[in-house]
């Protein structure tokens, strides 16, 4: 078991690498705008957080009203640039960041609550500026390009194969222990 933990820690020791595998990258342009969606069906509150430079910051949050279908914002760190709206049925919250700047780069998490003391986070979205070199050669790049990351990540592979390896080692050790116990419990005359 200790060997498995050591293997897991060595393979996933880089926190930034682990986050990059678990995030969905979005290529954006400086001074552009991006809209990130979050499913809020059957949830009362929504909040968007940014993780950058090892600091998690609450950017904007809202709570559904019970009488009228609306999603009023009750906390916003930058009212000029951060906008949170919902679709007509209040099933999707759309978080828009206008006039993107260097400080906006990082991992974005949508948090939703169904109960007052619990917040659930979805998959992170990583905002990255396109390379300045690419900007001169590819002028027809849209404001945001979504990259497909539906394949198995490195950490997922490590967990899958590590789990299979641990199961195989445990089976082998259990068999050896059982054989040793059986051998020592037999009378010396039996074969």
Q: pLDDT per residue over 106-139, tens digit each? A: 999 999 987 777 888 888 899 888 763 344 333 3
Q: How far is residue 28 from each of residues 23, 37, 108, measured CA to CA in Å?
A: 15, 16, 13
From CA 110, how far away is CA 36, in angstroms rounded?
A: 9
Which uninterrupted H or E stretch holds 158? helix 154-185
Report residue 57's pLDDT band, with 50, 70 and 90 as the boundaries.
Answer: very high
Which domains can be identified in the chain, with CATH numbers? Answer: 23-146 (2.60.40.10)
User: E-strand spans in the chain?
Assistant: 23-28, 34-39, 45-52, 55-63, 73-76, 82-86, 92-97, 106-113, 120-121, 124-129, 145-146
- Predicted pLDDT of residue 133: 32
CB 113 within 8 A of CB 120: yes
Q: How far is residue 108 from each of residues 132, 139, 163, measured CA to CA in Å?
A: 23, 26, 30
In the block, tokens 């919250």 appear at 93
60-92 pLDDT per residue, tens? 999 988 888 889 999 999 999 999 999 988 899
Smallest CA-to-CA distance from 169 within 181, 158, 180, 161 is with 161
pTM for the complete prediction?
0.57
- Predicted pLDDT of residue 8: 40
From CA 118, how far away is CA 57, in angstroms rounded?
A: 18
CA atoms within 13 Å, Cβ hemisphere of 134? 9
Identify the DSSP state of 161: H
Tell me how crowded residue 121 is: count the other CB atoms within 10 A of its CB. 12
Beta bridge partners of 28: 129
142-164 pLDDT per residue, tens? 344 444 444 556 666 677 777 77
Smallest CA-to-CA distance from 3 within 169, 122, 181, 184 is with 169
Which has more pLDDT, 14 or 151?
151
């Amino acid at each position: 078991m200790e060997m498995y933990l050591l293997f897991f820690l060595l393979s996933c020791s880089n926190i930034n690498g682990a986050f990059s595998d678990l995030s969905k990258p979005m290529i954006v342009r400086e001074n552009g705008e991006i809209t990130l969606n979050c499913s809020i069906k059957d949830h009362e509150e929504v909040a968007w957080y940014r993780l950058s430079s090892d600091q998690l910051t609450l950017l904007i949050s809202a709570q559904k009203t019970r009488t009228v279908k609306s999603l009023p914002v009750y906390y916003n760190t930058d009212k000029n640039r951060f906008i949170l709206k919902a679709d007509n049925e209040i099933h999707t919250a759309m978080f828009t960041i206008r006039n993107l700047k260097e400080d906006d780069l990082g991992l974005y998490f949508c948090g939703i609550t169904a109960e007052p003391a619990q917040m659930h986070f979805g998959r992170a979205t990583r905002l990255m500026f396109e390379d300045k070199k690419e900007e001169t050669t590819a002028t027809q790049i849209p404001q945001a390009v979504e990259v497909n990351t539906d394949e198995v990540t490195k950490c997922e592979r490590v967990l899958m194969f590590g789990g299979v390896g641990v199961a195989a080692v445990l089976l082998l050790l259990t068999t050896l222990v059982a054989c040793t116990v059986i051998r020592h419990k037999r009378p010396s005359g039996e074969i």
